Structure 1
Amino acid sequence: MLILWALNERACRFGELRRLVPGVTEKVLASHLRELEVDGIVHREAYDEVPPHVEYSLTSLGFSLNEALAPLGAWGREHILGNVEDAHHAPH
């Protein structure tokens, strides 16, 4: 989901995506991007330049998936993040 949310606003290069998705390794990010591309959710655009330039963006299917995931993200922000913060401040 973090990859989809990172691509929701605009196309990104691989390195930028890696910075936007905390804790992801290059190997895992590349694997997930390949899977999302095969599934028709992400579009990979390779530009014929030196040095090579590749951008990833959401397809219309990817944007519709983000719309479907938005309520889940809102629920997570409301419940999980608040509960995690409460747990960190609770006496042990």
Structure 2
Amino acid sequence: MSREVVELVTDLNSDWRVVTLPIAPWRRAKVWSLQQRVAGDFWEGRGLARTADKLRELIRGRAGPVDPLAAAVLAALPVRVDIPKGAKPKCR
């Protein structure tokens, strides 16, 4: 059984965060997950996004006020979760 590796991107406020999750480890595919704290230290996913625009849309619609430092982290995200910042996507 493989363990899911969660990478914290940022805490948006006391009840919401964004993490990166693997969705297809054999392809190194990832997805951003908007998560809400539901009980103590338990987090529940509320939305998934592969693009930064979709992630910001999810956050605006669900997470409420966002900490200014978290907003700066979100602004610096690459266009897609699986493309390193500054890298040019391959044309197919």
Name the TM-score, length of structure 1 as normaliser.
0.24
Structure in which a larger fraction of residues adopt strand: 2
Structure in which a larger fraction of residues adopt helix: 1
Name the TM-score, length of structure 2 as normaliser.
0.24
Greater radius of gyration (CA)? 1
Greater relative CO, 1 or 2 (CA 8 Å, sep 6+): 1
